[in-house]
Structures are given as C-alpha cells and as structure tokens.
Structure 1
Amino acid sequence: MVDNLHRRQPEDKRFINLNESWEVSYWTQALGVTEAKLRQAVAAVGSGTAKVKAYLGK
C-alpha cells in the first residue's frame, strides 16, 4: 500500500502520531503549540488527543 503524501489531517484524530512529520505539523498548528511542547505533552500523558488537549489546557 502506498502512503498518501497529500494528507491534510490524520485518519484517526483520537491519537497523535509523532512518527510522521506531517502529522506533527498538523497537531502543532491545530493546538497552537510548539513541537517541543507537543512532544512533552505526549510523553507526559500518552498519545490520546483528549488527554493531550487537557494537559495543554485546550
């Protein structure tokens, strides 16, 4: 299967995938945070979007 290189948003928005650079860019813009802050939040509470948003106060 070939990856879709023109994705605009994650397939499953319930989780944040830090292994894809385009997805990191998506989430930093969507949440209004730096990459470092996003990575810190995921390290602290896991990759669940709801938990990351709560951690960041969003």
Structure 2
Amino acid sequence: MSDRAPQDASRIAMGADYEVRYWTTKFGVGRVALKRAVAAVGNSADAVERELNKA
C-alpha cells in the first residue's frame, strides 16, 4: 500500500495514520519526533519542518 499524500499539504493531521506515515517519511523522522514537533510548534507543515531541522 502506497502512502497517500495529505489532503491539505500545509497541515499535519496526527490523527490520520496515512498522514503520519507520509510526514515521517517526508521528514525522515519517527512518529515520536513528529508528534513532539507538532506539539511544540503546531500542525503547520512548514513550522514542523523548521523545528525538525534545528540542530
């Protein structure tokens, strides 16, 4: 089964498993890291990407 793209590519819906799979693959992180980033900055895909790329 291939991962579908999210309906709204600007927002991350943590409640939708297919979206979580899509975003974890896109960002190269695990579910926990994605969840923490969303909790820290909200569900904006751009903000989450910036949070994950902090070094």
TM-score of the superposed pair, with normalisation by structure 2: 0.88
Query: Does the CA contact (< 8 Å) of 2:3 and 2:22 recur in 1?
Result: no
**Alignment correspondent of 2:41:** 45
Measured on the aligned residues, the alpha-carbon RMSD in Å equals 1.7
- Which runs of 5 or more residues in structure 2 are unaligned? none
The answer to whether the 8 Å contact 2:5/2:19 transfers is yes
Tell me if the contact between 2:13 and 2:20 (Cα under 8 Å) persists in the aligned partners.
yes
Identity %: 40
Q: How many residues align?
A: 53
**Runs of 4+ residues deviating >4 angstroms:** none
Q: TM-score, normalized by length of structure 1?
A: 0.84
5+ residue gaps in structure 1? Answer: 1-5
